[in-house]
Chain A
Amino acid sequence: MIACGRVAPESAPAVLTARSAGLLNCLVCGLLSRPPAGAHGGLACPRCATRLRLRRADSLGRTWALLLGALLCYVPANFLPIMTSSSLGVSQSDTILSGVRYLLAEGMWPLALIVFVASICIPVLKISVLSLLLVSVSARWRWRPVDRSRLYRIVDVVGRWSMVDVFVVSVLVALVRMGNFATVQAEAGALFFAAVVVLTMFAAMSFDPRLIWDAMEKPNA
């Protein structure tokens, strides 16, 4: 048997895409349709009535803007307390990081690990991966498009789990309400943190992974 070498992306034959075939792919129902000659914008999918576009509208600009917003919220999200627990007049404020430290001190390291990954690793990874993808698309990199597509899919799926700390605050606030005896109060950090999660989710949604491949098709464009 002859071992086949992997074809380098540079020498790969041109792939027929929906765009090069003059077709529009509906991202909601997956129907391919051919726009009528001379049509410009405002086309709707004949099957599901979703607005059809060749690529997501202003993908790079919108994704950058949402990421920047997330980055701005990221700082107060980590430095401001997310909640304050008061018990018999003694109150203690917790940040995202001190919550992890508490679980670790309690010996609950599996949970500490989950919260650390969900609240600290995922937001950082998400912001940096999306920035990397944006830079790679703008600079028309031809570097490992398959892996970049995979990175995008991972970031898109995993982001929602960061919300776990916001929900922990909501559960504690609901349960610990015993007047002067013990209460938990949500703090501004939780809102900033929720904003980071929501903004990065919108950022991932506005990024169009097909842009990664557009750069592969037209090397001199």
Chain B
Amino acid sequence: MSTEDIVACHDCDALHRVPPLPDRAVARCHRCGATLRSHRRDSIEVVLALSVAALVMFVISNSFPFMTMELSGQRVQSSLASGVWQLWQQGNGMLAALVLFTTIIAPGLQVGLMLYVTAPVFAGHMPWKARAAFRTVKMLRPWGMAEVFLLAVIISVVKLGDMAEVIPGIALWGLAGLVLLLAASAAVLEPRQLWARLESIQ
């Protein structure tokens, strides 16, 4: 029995012997019900594919306006970054930094670092500083809030609805795509599998 078979629950510390799991199976803690491990045969390949698509969506959502507002002849286009810029201009530096980090930097880093780790691993190489990069992905996860921002956009459209005409832009679709792809990637990613793979390449 190798130590790989023994898993401690991260929520209650109970030790379990987890046999090799079949494809798409999930092992749960018998004591507190937390997910101990899951297995997907092609986890790394699928995450790589999703990350490539997510990168495209990320670039789209950041390079085009996501909404245009028309109010009696005046037009204002707004991109993801312009909210940050306007907050900064109004003297709300802290708020601007928070919005910048949670809607642009964290999702971008998440996608970028996942690609940086999975692409070389897929090809059988060990990327430089892979462990630090993958640790950062886990750390960033709670702070990437693209999906929350998307909900905020919908609420804003409703709030502006009776006052002005609001036209959704390409970036909004890019953002929606990014949200779906990030969620899919999080569902497919089995970190332990990737850690084991990183270890085997070393």
Contact = CB atoms under 8 A, between A and B. Distances in A.
A214 B31 CA distance: 13
Interface residues of A, number: 68
B195 to A, nearest CB: 4
Contacts of B3: 31-33
A194 B103 CA distance: 14
A171 B168 CA distance: 13
B76 A167 contact: no
B155 interface: yes
A174 B83 contact: yes
A95 to B, nearest CB: 14
Contacts of B84: 170
Contacts of B142: 159-160, 201, 205
Interface in B89-106: 90, 92, 94-95, 98-99, 102-103
B148 A48 contact: no
A161 B76 CA distance: 28
A15 B31 contact: yes
B95 A191 contact: yes
Interface centre among B90, B155, B163 (most CB of A within 10 A): B155
A47 B152 contact: no
A78 interface: no
Interface in B143-201: 145, 148-149, 151-156, 158-160, 162-164, 166, 191-192, 195, 198-199
Contacts of A108: 158
Interface string A139-183: 000000110011011000001110111111111111111100110
Nearest to B156: A171
B69 A146 contact: no
Nearest to B149: A167
Contacts of B12: 17, 145, 149, 209-210, 212-213
B7 interface: yes
Interface stretch (A22-30, A57-65, A68-76, A128-136): A22-30
Contacts of B14: 15-17, 213
Contact of B13 (A25, A103, A164, A182): A25
Chain A facing B: main interface SS: helix
Contact of B159 (A16, A102, A167, A191): A102
A175 B102 contact: no
Contact of B95 (A50, A149, A171, A190): A190
Given A32-B3, A103-B158, A152-B11, A174 B82 contact: yes
Contacts of B74: 178, 181
B10 interface: yes
A31 B2 CA distance: 12
B195 A146 contact: no
B98 A175 contact: no
Contact of A173 (B83, B158, B159): B83
Contact of A174 (B34, B86, B164): B86
B148 A161 contact: yes
A198 B85 CA distance: 21
Interface centre among A47, A102, A106 (most CB of B within 10 A): A47
Contacts of B82: 174
A76 B138 CA distance: 32
A43 interface: no
